[in-house]
Structure 1
Amino acid sequence: MTKQLKLCLFAFTLLILGGCSQAHFINDETYLQQLTQDYESKERSMQQGNFFDDLRLLKMTKAEREAMMFLYAYMPSSDITDYSTSYFLENVRLTFQAEKEMSWGTSVPEELVRHFVLPIRVNNENLDTSRDVFYSELKDRVKDLSMKDAILEVNHWCHEKVVYQPSDARTSSPLASVKTAYGRCGEESTFAVAALRSVGIPARQVYTPRWAHTDDNHAWVEAWADGEWYFLGACEPEPVLNLGWFNSPASRGMLMHTKVFGRYNGPEEIMEETLNYTEINVIENYAPTANAKVFVLDDSREFVSGAKVEFKVYNYAEFYTVAQKFTNGEGYTSLTAGKGDMLVWASKGDRFGFTKCSFGEEQEVEIVLNHSADDHFNVELDIVPPVESAHLPEVTPEQRAQNDKRMAEEDAIRKAYVSTFVTKDQAAQKADEWQLNKEKVAKFLIGSRGNHEIISSFLAQAVVEKQGDLALELLNVLSAKDLRDISLEVLEDHLYNSLLPKDLTLETYKEILNPRVENEMLTAYKGYFQEKIEEDEAVEMRKNPLMLVNWCNREITVFNELNAQKIRMSPQGVWLSRTTDNLSRDIFFVAVARSLGIPAWKDEVTNKVQYRNLITREVFDVDFSADEETKAPQGTVIAKYKPIKTLSDPKYYTHFTISKYENGTYHLLNFDSGDSDMGEGATWSNLLEKGLKLDTGSYMLVTGTRLASGAVLSSVNLFTVNEGKTTTVNLVMREDSEQVQVIGNFNSESKYLPLEETELKSILQTTGRGYFVVGILGVGQEPTNHALKDIAAVKEDLEKWGRGMVLLFPDQQKADKFKKDDFPNLPSTIIYGIDVDGIVQRDIAESMKLNKSALPIFIIADTFNRVVFVSQGYTIGLGNQLMKTIHGL
């Protein structure tokens, strides 16, 4: 059957459905017409693989078919290749079931159902059957509530299942988060959005791509009820909506956004429109804003249309792009943002330019494309974030007490589930039974948390097959998150189908045995490709991997626009469709190479695809357009650094970063951050002092000194690395001669109750004369967890300083909830206590004009009652900020 005939038959089916009495899912005829065009375009773009056949053959109602058309027209191509049509149809039917059975179902506008209830995908997670599971658990719990109360109730349910814990960048699926019982903010919010959508409540994940006043980012949830959008902290239930620990930092944000599935015409500012989603700007829901126009000109002062304009926030020692737009026919674009500073970078072809834009102060800025990759220069930038302007809804003491009681009950429910995980003794018993290394078995069984049955089954069978030690090596190359959600099918495929050379090394395990390439969904691909590729061809590819490179170049079409969200397509999906995106093609190459026994990987620093020639053992770069094996020429860069009083050895991501020029902009090199809790990772001394080998090209060195106010003193240095030569640059950490100054007062005679004591004691009695640190902790809250881990990272420095640190809990209940074992390596100079009646917190808040409820709060003060440092709420790098102030005293 020809493609044209198939389209005609499908159009005929739609015509028949349109003539009957069945209800529509999409009643907007204009939108339905556009949708039909987009659907047909998608099908033409993915002709190979027959992925659309079932969509024509499955029996559906008119509404179901329109909903399926909507999903298929706009879902990333990876979802089409990696999930069945019946899977999506089941989710469509579950959506309609919730709409019918929930009391608010018919009150939600069609447009909101379409964009914020029906879509399954929230972020870049693996898709699962959570809608069915969650609806079964939640429907009776919320069906008789108002929509706003239902949102609050769903969040309480979420807290029963999942609590905050930092982890790597890959997003676990909602059911995997439940199995693990924790997740980072991106996973908590993905989970909560999935739960809300399962009961027919419109919901969306909101990100601040990066904070302006401190490092890191954050994600939370917006949910719609009775005509309005409200926000909430995912898995962090509050008594009312529009309340979370992030109210204050969000008021200092420069940008908040969300990706809306499909073509969307809502009231919010559109940031970007793609073939998959519409990105919208929701900063006005959280902070005072201003709009700025950016005009781009060439060297002749002529306006440039089609120039790429990137809006960048300083964060983690780089200028990170939080929004990207293109100039119109008149040579300008615009953005609405919080009232602070951004670096605005414009480029077209091989020319670029940049400037600082202060939103709220400048309504228009001009950028001239007067630079190229060959330019070398240094520029200093002072970046000022927005000021705090949080508005908190009222919560009565009774509401707070009831909410705290419920959270304690939910903690108990979750802990009861966690208590079913494997213990150290149980792991030791298993190791004895299998005659395997006890330490490794314990590490993997305990680390797998709710996935321990899968790991146990895998090891047990591997022992039977006399592959127990190799099975341990496979588990050892997995990430901690992979242990928690990997399937038995994937483990067994990569154990029994890995073609390992006789001279096994650690590199071999990482380059061949490891199932993971990047952040893709793990699949059992090795046995699959060994069947698909003829043995004679496989032998030749092992001898000459360039054959595989050339095959990819010939057979695979790259169409990035079909996967704008960069959801990695499985290697099998790439094989079947032969149309994919750059990232998925890279992963595909590595997966096929490993399946054939060729060591291959993506370089963690540069993201280059590389392989090791089995004959020569040389490492080559993969260039899909080259006809021969390639190696990028390299040079050396050395950075000279003159230590300043507050910093002897700058850290990567905290104080400096390096980025490489490509296509008009600079892309970050991802050097190892190490274990942040232990203060490890790349630094000036171990990276740049003696010389760093880099591919030739143009680079940017960014440094930044974050002040206690959140402002940054930054320096940008552009330089070139030439083949075989050494380039020397200066790494400069700018200083503010007045950064340590008296900023307020605090009564050092303030009293608190030391833990396990019965009499009140003053701060002065505890610490003696001189400087000290006082902190008020928000137990179990993400900002406090970050702060304590940051303090642990500078343990040795704080102990060397030797002054007392008094950390106070708001009450005994919070003190009982605090587990010191969750924060190893805290300084021995810490004294814990209770802030009886909130006296200390109130005194600090009033004297420093702080928010009276946001925690944690930290100050450095002295016994002359002078405050020289204050931090409140969510602050990344607190330990470094404390030490910077201490060194400057």
Structure 2
Amino acid sequence: MIKRYMASAILITCCLMITAGVIVPSADTDKAFSRRVNIASSLYGFSPASLDTLGQDEREAMKWLYAYMQTPDITAYAPEFFLANVRSSLKAKEEMPWGKSVPEREFRHFVLPVRVNNENLDMSREVFYNELKDRVKNLSMRDAILEVNHWCHEKVTYCPSDARTSSPLSCVSQAIGRCGEESTFTVAALRSVGIPARQVYTPRWAHTDDNHAWVEAWADGKWFFLGACEPAADLNIAWFNAPASRGMLMTTKVFGPYDGPEEILKTEPLLTTINVTSNYAPTGEIKVCVTDSKGNPASGAKVNFCIYNYADFFPAATKTADRDGMASLSAGLGDVVVWATDGEYYGFGKGNSSAGIVEIRMDKRKDYSGSFELDIVPPSQSGKLPGVSEDAEKRNICRLAEEDSIRTAYTSTFFNKEMSQPVASRLGVDSERLAKVLIDARGNWKMILRFIGDCSQEERDRALDLLCAISEKDRRDISEEVLTDNLMNTPVMNHPLYVDYVLNPRVENEGLVPYKAFFTAEISPDMADAFRRNPSYLVAWTASNISIDTLGNPSGLRMDPRAVWRTAQADPLSRNIFFVSVARSIGIPSRIDPVTSKTQYAGESGEWIDARFDTAGDERKADLTPKGDLRVLYTPEGRLENPRYYSHFSISRLNGGVPVQLEYGEGSGLKEIAADGVRLDCGEYMLLTGRRMADGSVLARGELFNVAENRETAVPMVIRDDPDALSVIGSLNAENIYHDKATGADKSILSTTGRGYYVLALVKPSDEPSAHILNDISAHRDDLEKTGGKVLLLFGSEGEMKRFNFDAYPSLPATAVFGIDNDGASFRELKNSLNLSGEERPLVVVADSFNRVVFATQGYTIGIGDRLAGILSSLSEVK
């Protein structure tokens, strides 16, 4: 994490290099700068006069950045930080051969900004430029983009993790990142050498339960796409070509007001969201007419265009109905759920671009209950990979293997379990706990080991408590400053909630900063004591003293809680994080509830009490939120004894007529959540279930109901299915030969699987879709083993199998077998039999020893483990 500068005034130095006309000043920018600069002035002494001694390009670039910078960035990073990054951008523009050919608009929006997503900002731009400049300076712009991505692959590879986005330098230290982090890192690397780049994001796929982020880079007047840290032989080639062709909506966020050629989806004072779906998929216009309960146009209604994903109607885009009640969205050629509300009344229905104008009547309100069923169909696949020569593909594969070895050489220096026992003995701490935190820390392990070693013997167990309380990702990038702050400045208490909700600095997905010493110094002992005696006073104080800023943070960045104190303003989420941070600093157990996202503190008996900032005038009364009970009535059907949250069902509360999904733990089942009923706040709710079919379509069912105070509400759960969905769709010769990894011999599929049904998955190494398939199969290990069916996992060649990291998947079913599809025979046969249009892997089928294929899915698919277990279980009597 970058050090937060605390300088009282910007350090003005002479401009080292000037390039005329980088940013064209405008009256709008001047006005916006004047409005935003006051925030920086109060914290850092930064003012318009601070720019006077800078060169023209530096001055205009700084003015433009501050004019459209979001409040959390203005308050967390000093002007020196942004000036250093401006100078690095101008240096790249001057020294890179393509620098002066980049138009002002593309430079302003897609090179100059430091921020890409919601990551912690750092000085990666300078570091990356020094590493990359000589590597790309003699290349064309297109080849430079490819080369930067190869460099990124040397540093980072895919690994799923939580929603917080690590900084680019942290990704290099960890050598891993989820797609949002890989793309943030790659955009930062491209911008460091003056290449315009942006992160493209599909908020939700329509055909499978997940989302994805990748990169677009500008070269010679055109935007190209690439898989971040996944170099291909050419641009516009990636594993997600086919999934993207089935996408409903793909967007990118642009810093400041934007006048480019793309469709503008949303314009805010500091941010523009543009729609780039047509770059990847056929699109059409979904037109909606919203009316009130009497059939009159509902001008001003909020219209959410929702994609079914993770058992949720996810609002991918939000529009406002015009005076005629009309709203529209350019999107892919599939179904969306349109949900409209005026804050009290609501209505919903299915829409797509071929349906003409869809009428949504808002005739439901909080007293409504009832059920509905929707068959939701995603777009069909239409993507075609651009052709590359066989030699180019082979050269790229060789480079990928070389880059894997470079990264592996680095990660081999990380802490491992064999090192833990002697180190634990020397430090006098538990070996298992020490190994856990240091292995999780990856490239951060030496700092964490130093931190533990610097603690006194008496403090080391509490230090390990702290390190076990934070998230796995936190261990990878937390700073020693934050660890020391929490260990030294957290009150020591004998309380069952102490470690997780007082000692632990992590509140939500904010960047961790050393806030406890700060609040201990700022809050007087008498004030802290009053808050501890009655935490509702802290709620009332926060409501009275922190004003809500609804415009300064459109990206939902998490504001540094110290800056919230200094500026006395924040968006609602940052205000809530601030409250919890202050509470923990003075010894009050507090949290943001992971299920409901409500801010809470612990009462005297350890019960969680809601912090109601909206009724701060009578907090002790307002804290007692009325509650009732929900009982879900479910009769197990076949194998599905314990439906999974997000996979099969979810519960949403209707806030202002809009469903907001409750965030129960991933992997939780109905029995874990509501075996004996579940206690909920009173209000309106929706139980949504869905069955994802092989073609990506969903059989959805919703139940709308109310939870009344101190009453039990019984709601039936029905998970729809299509008994005719499984039929013979192709063939695969069970006598096909593959090379068995375990025996080293060539064998027939039948000799391994025996009689009956089995799973055959043709996978690739270092491939995100294949990783998802293998993780899903691992997650359903027990279910798959119970079926007895073999899971045959085949690579395309010996080289692919050698590149595969078998240690990354320790939980695959005991029935799993690895091997090589000799000469690609099984893949070719399936391609012809199933009429597949491309060479895309992974390809997963369920087949039997009589050469029949009854299920197939190709490419990027989430939730396949559950689906395979269900199919094998239902077919078990056929064996």
CA distance in 1, matches of 2:584, 2:86: 37
- Which one of the candidate residues 455, 469, 478 is aligned to 1:477? 469
- Corresponding position: 1:885 with 2:871: yes
CA distance in 1, matches of 2:23, 2:606: 59
CA distance in 2, matches of 1:757, 1:518: 49
| CA-CA distance at 1:301 after TM superposition | 2.2
Structure 2 counterpart of 1:7: none
Secondary structure of 1:439 counterpart:
helix
Structure 2 counterpart of 1:277: 271
| CA-CA distance at 1:758 after TM superposition | 6.2
- Which one of the candidate residues 360, 368, 379 is aligned to 1:375? 368
- Corresponding position: 1:515 with 2:505: yes
| CA-CA distance at 1:470 after TM superposition | 0.7
* Cα deviations by residue, 1:106-150 (Å, 9 ceiling, x for unpaired): 111100000000010001000000000000000010011011100
| CA-CA distance at 1:308 after TM superposition | 1.0
Q: Which amino acid in the other structure matches residue 827 of structure 2?
A: Q
**What is the correspondence of 1:67-146 to structure 2 with a 5 Å cutoff?**
67-146=61-140
* Conserved? CA contact 1:299–1:369, under 8 Å: yes
| CA-CA distance at 1:436 after TM superposition | 1.0
Q: Which amino acid in the other structure matches residue 511 of structure 1?
A: Y
- Corresponding position: 1:659 with 2:643: no
- Corresponding position: 1:587 with 2:539: no
**What is the correspondence of 1:171-250 to structure 2 with a 5 Å cutoff?**
171-250=165-244
Q: Which amino acid in the other structure matches residue 263 of structure 2?
A: E
- Corresponding position: 1:619 with 2:613: no
* Conserved? CA contact 1:24–1:66, under 8 Å: no
* Conserved? CA contact 2:157–2:177, under 8 Å: yes
Structure 2 counterpart of 1:628: 619
Secondary structure of 1:493 counterpart:
helix
TM (normalized to structure 1)?
0.94
* Cα deviations by residue, 1:301-331 (Å, 9 ceiling, x for unpaired): 2222221111111111111111111122332
Structure 1 counterpart of 2:3: none
Flag the 1:161–1:728 CA change in 2: closer, same or farther, 3 A: same
Runs of 5+ consecutive residues of structure 2 not aligned to the other structure: 1-9
Secondary structure of 1:875 counterpart:
coil
| CA-CA distance at 1:354 after TM superposition | 0.9
Secondary structure of 1:560 counterpart:
coil
* Conserved? CA contact 2:401–2:803, under 8 Å: no
CA distance in 1, matches of 2:192, 2:764: 31
**What is the correspondence of 1:840-855 to structure 2 with a 5 Å cutoff?**
840-855=826-841
Runs of 5+ consecutive residues of structure 1 not aligned to the other structure: 1-9, 674-680
Flag the 1:344–1:589 CA change in 2: closer, same or farther, 3 A: same
**What is the correspondence of 1:400-479 to structure 2 with a 5 Å cutoff?**
400-463=393-456, 466-479=458-471
| CA-CA distance at 1:688 after TM superposition | 2.5
Structure 2 counterpart of 1:159: 153
Q: Which amino acid in the other structure matches residue 747 of structure 2?
A: K
CA distance in 1, matches of 2:228, 2:436: 29
| CA-CA distance at 1:646 after TM superposition | 4.6
Flag the 1:846–1:499 CA change in 2: closer, same or farther, 3 A: same
Secondary structure of 1:336 counterpart:
strand
What do you get for the CA RMSD once the two structures are aligned? 1.9
CA distance in 2, matches of 1:748, 1:457: 57
- Corresponding position: 1:487 with 2:479: yes
| CA-CA distance at 1:77 after TM superposition | 0.2
Identity level (%): 49
* Conserved? CA contact 2:787–2:873, under 8 Å: no
* Cα deviations by residue, 1:633-654 (Å, 9 ceiling, x for unpaired): 1100001112223522211010
CA distance in 1, matches of 2:52, 2:176: 38
Q: Which amino acid in the other structure matches residue 812 of structure 1?
A: E
* Conserved? CA contact 1:600–1:611, under 8 Å: yes
- Which one of the candidate residues 376, 382, 389 is aligned to 2:382? 389
CA distance in 2, matches of 1:335, 1:795: 41
CA distance in 1, matches of 2:364, 2:107: 47
- Corresponding position: 1:762 with 2:748: yes
CA distance in 2, matches of 1:152, 1:50: 40
Structure 1 counterpart of 2:5: none
* Conserved? CA contact 2:41–2:47, under 8 Å: no
- Corresponding position: 1:352 with 2:346: yes
Flag the 1:766–1:536 CA change in 2: closer, same or farther, 3 A: closer
Secondary structure of 1:561 counterpart:
coil
Structure 1 counterpart of 2:22: 25
Q: Which amino acid in the other structure matches residue 864 of structure 1?
A: F
- Corresponding position: 1:775 with 2:761: yes
Q: Which amino acid in the other structure matches residue 485 of structure 1?
A: D
TM (normalized to structure 2)?
0.95
Flag the 1:758–1:128 CA change in 2: closer, same or farther, 3 A: closer
CA distance in 1, matches of 2:329, 2:530: 54
Secondary structure of 2:456 counterpart:
helix
Secondary structure of 2:285 counterpart:
strand
Flag the 1:439–1:45 CA change in 2: closer, same or farther, 3 A: closer
Secondary structure of 1:243 counterpart:
coil
CA distance in 1, matches of 2:210, 2:515: 35
CA distance in 1, matches of 2:731, 2:118: 47
| CA-CA distance at 1:867 after TM superposition | 1.0
| CA-CA distance at 1:377 after TM superposition | 1.0
Structure 1 counterpart of 2:545: 555
CA distance in 1, matches of 2:79, 2:258: 24
Flag the 1:55–1:411 CA change in 2: closer, same or farther, 3 A: farther
Q: Which amino acid in the other structure matches residue 523 of structure 2?
A: I
* Cα deviations by residue, 1:572-623 (Å, 9 ceiling, x for unpaired): 110111121001100111111111111111111111111124x554532101
CA distance in 1, matches of 2:385, 2:698: 28
| CA-CA distance at 1:819 after TM superposition | 3.0
* Conserved? CA contact 1:46–1:577, under 8 Å: no
Secondary structure of 1:448 counterpart:
helix
Structure 2 counterpart of 1:723: 709
| CA-CA distance at 1:50 after TM superposition | 5.6
* Conserved? CA contact 1:494–1:524, under 8 Å: yes
| CA-CA distance at 1:537 after TM superposition | 1.3
Flag the 1:304–1:43 CA change in 2: closer, same or farther, 3 A: farther
| CA-CA distance at 1:827 after TM superposition | 1.7
- Which one of the candidate residues 526, 543, 548 is aligned to 1:536? 526
CA distance in 2, matches of 1:176, 1:311: 35
| CA-CA distance at 1:770 after TM superposition | 2.3
**What is the correspondence of 1:321-360 to structure 2 with a 5 Å cutoff?**
321-359=315-353
Secondary structure of 2:724 counterpart:
coil
Structure 1 counterpart of 2:488: 496
* Cα deviations by residue, 1:535-583 (Å, 9 ceiling, x for unpaired): 1111111112222212211211101210010110011110111121001
**How many residue pairs are counted as aligned between the two chains?**
857
Structure 1 counterpart of 2:4: none
- Corresponding position: 1:836 with 2:825: no
* Conserved? CA contact 1:771–1:860, under 8 Å: yes
CA distance in 2, matches of 1:378, 1:552: 41
Flag the 1:58–1:623 CA change in 2: closer, same or farther, 3 A: farther
- Corresponding position: 1:610 with 2:604: no
* Conserved? CA contact 2:539–2:619, under 8 Å: no
**What is the correspondence of 1:239-318 to structure 2 with a 5 Å cutoff?**
239-318=233-312
Range with greater deviation from structure 2 (366-375 or 795-804): 795-804
| CA-CA distance at 1:266 after TM superposition | 1.1
Secondary structure of 2:27 counterpart:
helix
* Cα deviations by residue, 1:5-43 (Å, 9 ceiling, x for unpaired): xxxxx9xx9xxx9xxx9834333x6xx111122222334
- Corresponding position: 1:707 with 2:693: yes
CA distance in 1, matches of 2:418, 2:869: 41
Flag the 1:51–1:743 CA change in 2: closer, same or farther, 3 A: farther
CA distance in 2, matches of 1:150, 1:49: 40
Q: Which amino acid in the other structure matches residue 80 of structure 1?
A: I
CA distance in 1, matches of 2:237, 2:414: 33
| CA-CA distance at 1:45 after TM superposition | 7.2
